[in-house]
Amino acid sequence: MVRLIKDVGEIGLLGRIKSKIKLSRDVVAGIGDDAAVLKYGRKYHMLFTTDSLIENIHFKLKGIKPEQIGRKAVEINVSDIAAMGGFPKYMLVSLSMPRNTDVSFVDKLYKGINEAAKKYKISIVGGNLSRSKQINVHISLIGFVEKNLLCLRSNAKVGDIICVTGKLGKKARKEHIVRNYLEPKAQLAQGRILSRFVNAMQDVSDGLGSDLRAICRQSKVGAIIYKSKFSKSKNFDRWYMHVDYLELIFTIPKNKLNKLKKTNVKFSVIGEIKNKKEGIFMIDKNKKYKLKQGYDHFRSL
């Protein structure tokens, strides 16, 4: 019987790929986190991530400027580094496009890429150009993190408080609708601060449902999300869908919460880590509901 990728889904496909790969001893963390972690010297680990923007999947040319595509391509990769507690350093940019693409489009695209790279002090050190039927922007990013500040999805502990950076509510909704799609911003500075306090962390790029499940799956724990924490937010359902928030979801020990509040990181408490056997649920007025799955690249439309 033929099995289609849309039936297996993104997580199932990743699991199949991961089972066929053997890691060398210098790999601290491979498939399954926001970035790969490689041993690098006495003080640092190297971080390596890659992400893409595909025309008609991640953007439509009529709804976004070339400069915005360029900036967004960089931001989504920097966000992966932020989720690991690190900082970006070197970048490769690969671009594929139709032969009849206006050269000025490429100029504007790279203008956006250069602006974002300069913002984060990233050096563009190479890449690739090729022909395709649509515009595809692929970025590979290398960063670094102090060994004692490395944040993984797999370290959430039972009793941890679940939080997300940023504000929830009506004001956040108005700010985010435009920003998240056209001009998402990686939470790099926040990630650096959070790395001193949190147990587990990742960026919210596929929706709260998918991203929280990833932490729970890697950490072998369950979770409860409190609907009341979103009571002022009209866009609650959007947290389960694919929205480029690029905020950070993290788990933190209760005894470190007050210390974090003394920093300049804005965040909201949304739940608590539970035992794996309790599952992953949302509580709404004393009723438990199974947390919805977020965006899946092969199952979602």
Instruction: Please name the amino acid found at residue 6.
Output: K
Q: Which two tokens stand for residue 149?
A: 């500040």
CATH number of 151-290: 3.90.650.10
Pick the CATH number of 5-148 from 3.40.309.10, 3.30.70.20, 3.90.1150.180, 3.30.1330.10: 3.30.1330.10
Is this prediction's pTM over 0.85? yes
Range with the poorest average pLDDT among 57-61, 153-157, 206-210, 259-263:
206-210
What integer pLDDT is reported at residue 11 of this predicted model?
A: 74
CA distance 42 to 25: 16
Q: Give the list of residues 6+ apart from residue 77 with CB closer than 8 angstroms, or none.
A: 49, 50, 51, 88, 91, 139, 140, 141
Lowest mean per-residue pLDDT among 76-80, 126-130, 196-200, 228-232: 228-232
CA dihedral (170, 174, 179, 185) positive or negative: negative
Whether 76 contacts 205, CB under 8 Å = yes
> Tokens 């007025």 identify what position?
285
Would you state the pLDDT for residue 232?
55
**Amino acid symbol at 212:** L
**17 — pLDDT class (breaks 50, 70, 90):** confident
Alpha helices in the chain (DSSP H): 5-19, 66-83, 103-119, 170-182, 188-194, 208-219, 257-261
Positive or negative torsion for Cα 161, 274, 241, 113: positive
Farthest-apart Cα atoms in the chain, separation: 59
How are beta strands 280-284 and 287-290 bridged, if at all? antiparallel
Choice between 115 and 183, residue whose per-residue pLDDT is larger: 115
Asked if 164 contacts 266 with a C-beta cutoff of 8 angstroms, the reply is: no
**CA–CA dist 204, 142 (Å, integer):** 20
Cβ atoms 199, 85 nearer than 8 A: no
> How many C-alpha atoms does 285 have within 13 Å on its Cβ side?
1
| Model confidence pLDDT, tens digit, residues 27-69 | 999 888 999 999 999 999 999 999 999 999 889 999 899 999 9
Percent of the chain with pLDDT over 90: 64
Q: Given this model, what pLDDT does residue 300 score?
A: 56
3-class DSSP state of 225? strand
Q: What is the pLDDT of residue 210?
A: 83
Question: Domain extents for the chain?
Answer: 5-148, 151-290
Shortest CA distance to 238 belongs to which of 204, 288, 283, 284? 204
Task: Dump pLDDT digits (tens) for 126-175.
Answer: 999 999 999 999 999 999 999 999 999 999 999 999 999 987 655 555 55
| Cβ contact 135:94 at 8 Å | no
Read off the DSSP letter of residue 59: B
Look at residue 13 in the predicted model and tell me its pLDDT.
80
CA-to-CA dists, residue 39 to 47, 48, 87, 89, angstroms: 9, 11, 16, 16
